[in-house]
C-alpha cells in the first residue's frame, strides 16, 4: 500500500496544521505531567495527543493510513505487551506481530452492518511520528452505511484526538474523532 501523501513537505504541513488546529480549538491536555491514571508514566515533549487517519474507500478495496507520535505508540505498546518496544527498528518481525495484534483491537470498520477486517501491512517512520498502513480487498459492491472506530492510544491518553479524512468516489470529507466513543458514522449516496 502506498503512502497517501506523495510529498514529505506536504505531509509535514498537514500534520503540523492539524496539531495547530487542535491546540487552537482547545483539544489538548494543556499541561505536561503524568498520564492520567498512570502516575509513573511521564508525558514526553508534546502536551497534545492528536493523530491523522486517511481512509480510502474504493468499490472493492479499503486502505487506511494512521499517523501518530512514535513515542506515544511505543509507550502504549510497552504497557500493553509488557515488552521494551523500539519502533526505530521499523517492521521487525516482533514489531510487526505486536502492531498486528494491537491494531486488530483498536481499529474497526463496518459497512452495512458487516465488519471489515482490516489487515496491517506495514509502517513507515517519519520524523517523530509513524505511519501505520492497513488494507482489505474484496469488500463487495458499493456500501451505503459506514462506521469507523479508532481507539488507538485513547486508554493511555484520554485526550487523544484524530483528524479523519474519508476519501470516497472522488470526494474527501474530514471529521474530528474524539472520545469517549472515538466513533464516526456516515452514509454514502
How far apart, in Å, are the Cα atoms of 74 and each of 33, 80, 89?
A: 18, 10, 12
Pick from 4, 24, 9: nearest CA to 67:
4
101 or 23: which leads in pLDDT: 101
Q: Mind listing the pLDDT tens digit for each residue in 105-138?
A: 999 999 887 899 999 999 999 888 999 999 999 8
Which regions of 13-150 does DSSP assign to beta strands (E)?
34-35, 38-42, 50-57, 61-69, 107-111, 114-116, 119-126, 129-137, 145-150
**CA separation for the pair 147, 114 (Å, rounded):** 10
170 pLDDT band, cuts 50/70/90, is confident
Judged against a pLDDT cut of 60, whether residue 142 lies above it is answered with: yes
**CA separation for the pair 56, 168 (Å, rounded):** 6
Q: Which three cell numbers stand for residue 18?
A: 492539524
186 pLDDT band, cuts 50/70/90, is confident
Q: Mind listing the pLDDT tens digit for each residue in 4-48?
A: 444 444 454 455 555 444 444 443 333 333 333 333 344 445 678
Helix or strand (DSSP H, E) at 96? helix 93-106
DSSP-derived letter for residue 24 is: H
Amino acid at each position: 500500500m502506498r503512502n497517501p501523501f506523495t510529498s514529505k513537505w506536504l505531509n509535514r504541513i498537514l500534520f503540523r496544521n492539524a496539531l495547530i488546529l487542535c491546540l487552537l480549538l482547545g483539544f489538548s491536555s494543556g499541561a505536561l505531567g503524568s498520564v492520567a491514571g498512570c502516575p509513573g508514566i511521564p508525558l514526553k515533549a508534546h502536551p497534545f495527543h492528536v493523530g491523522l487517519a486517511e481512509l480510502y474507500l474504493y468499490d472493492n478495496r479499503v486502505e487506511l493510513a494512521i499517523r501518530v507520535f512514535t513515542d506515544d505508540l511505543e509507550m502504549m505498546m510497552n504497557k500493553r505487551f509488557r515488552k521494551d518496544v523500539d519502533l526505530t527498528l521499523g517492521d521487525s518481525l516482533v514489531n510487526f506481530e505486536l502492531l498486528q495484534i494491537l491494531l486488530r483491537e483498536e481499529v474497526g470498520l463496518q459497512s452495512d452492518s458487516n465488519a471489515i477486517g482490516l489487515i496491517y501491512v506495514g509502517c513507515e517512520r517519519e520524523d517523530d511520528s509513524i505511519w501505520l498502513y492497513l488494507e482489505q480487498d474484496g469488500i463487495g459492491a458499493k456500501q451505503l452505511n459506514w462506521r469507523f472506530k479508532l481507539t488507538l492510544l485513547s486508554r493511555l491518553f484520554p485526550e487523544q484526538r484524530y483528524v479523519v479524512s474519508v476519501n470516497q468516489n472522488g470526494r474527501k470529507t474530514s471529521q474530528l474523532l474524539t472520545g469517549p466513543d472515538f466513533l464516526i458514522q456516515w452514509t454514502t449516496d
